[in-house]
Amino acid sequence: MMKVLKFLGMTTVILAFVGCTNSTTSGGGDGGSGASSGNGNGGSSTNGSDNNSGSSGSNSSPADLGDGSLFGSWAMVTYNASLLDTYNPDGTFVSAMAHDYSYYIHKQAYSGNYRVSGDTIECYSVIFQAWNDDGKTVTITDPERPYPDFSFQFRLGTDELGDYYMQNFVAGGTGDPITDDSVKYRRAP
């Protein structure tokens, strides 16, 4: 099965999350960005349920997903990177990013289940994968694998440009607190 995300920015990058054809495996890799972050629960539950039950569906109830204003896709584009976070009403999410390194594009994606608790998004039953694409060959740098549960803070708002989403997920843990000057993701079409 292949899930394809049409990615905003750069020249329009297509990310294939599960499965690759004509690919080579280089093994190792940097493990991608991100790690168990936020409260550092590393897979422990904050509500007493088993987050890693192995079920393919979401363990979130509608009450766990906030008021619905997070639902949809949020994009952020810089001069050499594009990021897209999608939160679905069924409690699943995909977070994908692509970095342009002149000779190749490094892509990585997280997918799994999420729930909202106040200003915190808790992600669990997460799968991670990373790969490089030089335009001719897709090289798996980090094969699809389970990823530790993580959480991070977020903020939603509206300004003169429309709706925005801000978050502080960074490699190795939760980043600096969100401020009015934090990077804003915009609602993707």
Instruction: Give the residue extent of every domain in the chain.
Output: 4-43+65-187
Question: Two tokens at 91?
Answer: 């409690």
The dihedral built from the CA positions of residue 113, 29, 168 and 173, taken in this order, carries a sign that is positive
pLDDT digits (tens, 9 = 90+) for 54-95: 334 455 555 589 899 999 999 999 889 999 999 999 999 999
pLDDT tier, 176 (very low <50, low <70, confident <90, very high otherwise): confident
How many CA atoms lie less than 13 Å away from 134 in the CB half-sphere?
Answer: 9
> What pTM, to 2 d.p., does this model score?
0.68
Q: What is the pLDDT of residues 112-155, one digit of tens each?
A: 999 999 999 999 999 999 999 999 999 999 999 999 999 999 99
Dist CA 147 CA 134 (whole Å): 26
Mapped onto helix, strand or coil, the DSSP state of residue 14 is: strand
